[in-house]
Structure 1
Amino acid sequence: MSRKNAILTYTNTLFYPLDPRAEEIHIEDIAHALSQMCRANGHFKKFHSVAQHCINCTLEARARHLSERVQLACLLHDASEAYISDITRPVKCYLKEYCRIEHKLQQAIYAKFCLGDMNEAELKEVEAVDNALLYYEFERLHHQGIHKQPPRVFSSPDTSERNMTAVERQFLQLTEQLLEHIASKNR
């Protein structure tokens, strides 16, 4: 793969989205970028960042007593968006090449943070949490249910409009805590 078409990240790293390398993936870049990206393609009634969504997913996973690995995966499940942004679900399903690029990048991010061996059950848990929070966000921030049957939410997601810097800091703190807990279990 040719190392062309780099982006310059928040930490001044040249990052090649089509050829992601572990040494170029920085949690500071992910936290910073996601804290400034609005969910729902900017169509919520107030600003709600992707980072805040990921934090809420992590806290929901914790409330469900899911493993710390799944909690970390919930925190990082949209991390590829820090490097390639996002496309709304109704359109993304038609963009096979984008989905391939996103998947490869997301796998590189998971591998960087010791989640490259996630099994199908863990990935389904992440997906279930993500979908539950998606429903909750639309209900709270758009006053619209997006499914006939609302999923059960075990936590109290924060949908208040929060300062981006505070969200970025919380994202980084959660990452550090989860990585420490996971590492201590593996010693």
Structure 2
Amino acid sequence: MPEMTNGQPVRGPYMHSANGRKIYPFDPQASEVNIDVVAHHLACNGRWNGATQHKQFRSRIYFSVAEHSVLVARYLREEMNRPDLELEGLLHDAPEYLLSDMIRPIKHDPRVHPVYKPLEDKAEYAIAGRFNLVFPLPKEIKIADDAVCAAEARQIVPKSELETWESKDLLHDDTLVAPYEIEMMNPFEAKMFFLDAYEEAIARRSKYASLPFVAKL
């Protein structure tokens, strides 16, 4: 039996969410996942640990998980001809609305990965249940994710000539490069970009899978 307080199960530490509700990173529940909250948090989470800079516009220094996720979904639909996996691509990083974006050198380090991975899996399972996603995510998602990462690395990640940059040092496969311009939207634009992509994906979803159920507010 779970530990109880005042007749209610103890779910571990809670986080504040964008809609004012509590969310529990150690006990995520599918019925509590809210797409607007997911979009908001992913739009406010920066990728590459903030090491980003638009090559043309110096004022653009922020790149969100939300914008990245839309490009992954687009790559699956347009380049890989897998529209059936569009929603999985859009939500592949949705666990980060609970766990934030952890850069790969830390996330995959053997000292960190055994602790982080169970939390990520539990969040991914709850999100898959909420949106009727394939679980675990198929290998095509990783291919699309890496292709978008490769585009980001080429376009918005500065690389000093004083350093040596070799493919063997990469933690993503750069064989394929997504043919998309990285805009580096501000957080509000990225949130709207993500929610628009979600609505479009849902409109196509019934051709391939059952639609998500309605979550608690």
Q: TM-score, normalised by structure 2?
A: 0.76
Residues in 2 aligned to 1:138 and 1:73: alpha-carbon distance in whole angstroms: 23
Residues in 2 aligned to 1:24 and 1:163: alpha-carbon distance in whole angstroms: 27
Q: Displacement, 1:184?
A: 5.0
Q: Displacement, 1:105?
A: 0.4
What percentage of aligned pairs have identical amino acids? 27
Q: 1:67 aligns with which of 59, 82, 93?
A: 82
Q: 2:175 aligns with which of 151, 158, 162?
A: 151
Q: Does 1:91 align with 2:132?
A: no
One-letter code aligned to 1:43: A
Taking only aligned residues, the RMSD between alpha carbons, in angstroms, comes to: 2.2
Q: 1:14 to 1:137 in 2, by over 3 A?
A: same
One-letter code aligned to 2:175: P
Tell me what 1:106 maps to.
Answer: 124
Residues in 1 aligned to 2:35 and 2:69: alpha-carbon distance in whole angstroms: 13
Residues in 1 aligned to 2:70 and 2:96: alpha-carbon distance in whole angstroms: 15
After TM superposition, where is structure 1 displaced by more than 4 Å over at least 4 residues in a row?
Answer: 143-146, 184-187
Contact 1:13-1:24 at 8 Å conserved across structures: no
Tell me what 2:200 maps to.
Answer: 177
Residue by residue, what CA displacement relative to the aligned partner does 1:67-93 show, whole Å, maximum 9, x if unpaired? Answer: 334111111111111111122211112
Larger radius of gyration: 2
Q: 2:62 aligns with which of 9, 34, 47?
A: 47
Contact 2:40-2:191 at 8 Å conserved across structures: yes
One-letter code aligned to 1:24: E
Which moved further from structure 2: 131-140 or 174-183? 174-183
Q: TM-score, normalised by structure 1?
A: 0.87
Contact 1:135-1:147 at 8 Å conserved across structures: no
Residue by residue, what CA displacement relative to the aligned partner does 1:55-110 show, whole Å, maximum 9, x if unpaired? Answer: 11111111124333411111111111111112221111222121110111012112
Residues in 1 aligned to 2:25 and 2:72: alpha-carbon distance in whole angstroms: 25
Residues in 2 aligned to 1:4 and 1:118: alpha-carbon distance in whole angstroms: 25
Q: 1:71 to 1:39 in 2, by over 3 A?
A: same
SS at match of 1:10: coil
Within a 5 Å distance, the mapping from 1:127-138 to structure 2 comes to 127-138=142-153
Tell me what 2:33 maps to.
Answer: 25
Between Structure 1 and Structure 2, the one with more helix by share is: 1
Residues in 2 aligned to 1:109 and 1:82: alpha-carbon distance in whole angstroms: 11
Residues in 1 aligned to 2:185 and 2:106: alpha-carbon distance in whole angstroms: 28
Residues in 1 aligned to 2:194 and 2:166: alpha-carbon distance in whole angstroms: 27
Residues in 2 aligned to 1:20 and 1:6: alpha-carbon distance in whole angstroms: 10
Contact 2:150-2:176 at 8 Å conserved across structures: no
